[in-house]
Amino acid sequence: MESGLKATLEQESKKVYSPEKNAKFSNLLNTLRLKVMRESLEDSGKLEGKIVLFNAKLRGKYNVMQYAMMHAFMGSGIDPNRELEILYDDFPGDDSVEKFINDLIEEYK
């Protein structure tokens, strides 16, 4: 029993995500989608294509449901009953959702 509690505490200590941060990036992406859609349906289609391809790339490389930023990226919340399954905040390096969203915002200024 004690080892199970220790494993749970270790898992909790790895969590560095912030629900506020995730909500911020989810809102930024949704705002960008609306802005681009209002300006150009063609550009909106291109933006959605980039999002779909990035999503597919992440799904091919990672167990994406363990990453809090994936939930923000897809616009889904994190079920409190499954919160212990979240092990990481964001993906590393060029796979970072935060970086991807910031790059899109810069591209579609």
Cα separation of 64 and 32, whole Å? 23
Q: How far is CA 90 from CA 19, 68, 106, in A?
A: 12, 6, 20
pLDDT digits 0-9 by tens, 44-97: 999 999 999 999 999 999 988 888 888 878 877 676 666 667 788 889 999 999
Top-confidence range, 7-11, 38-42, 88-92: 38-42
User: pLDDT over 90 for what percent of the chain?
Assistant: 45
Going by the DSSP 8-state scheme, the letter that residue 80 receives in this structure is: G
With CA atoms as reference, report the closest residue to 69 among 102, 105, 106. Answer: 102
pLDDT of residue 80: 66
Stated pTM of the model? 0.76
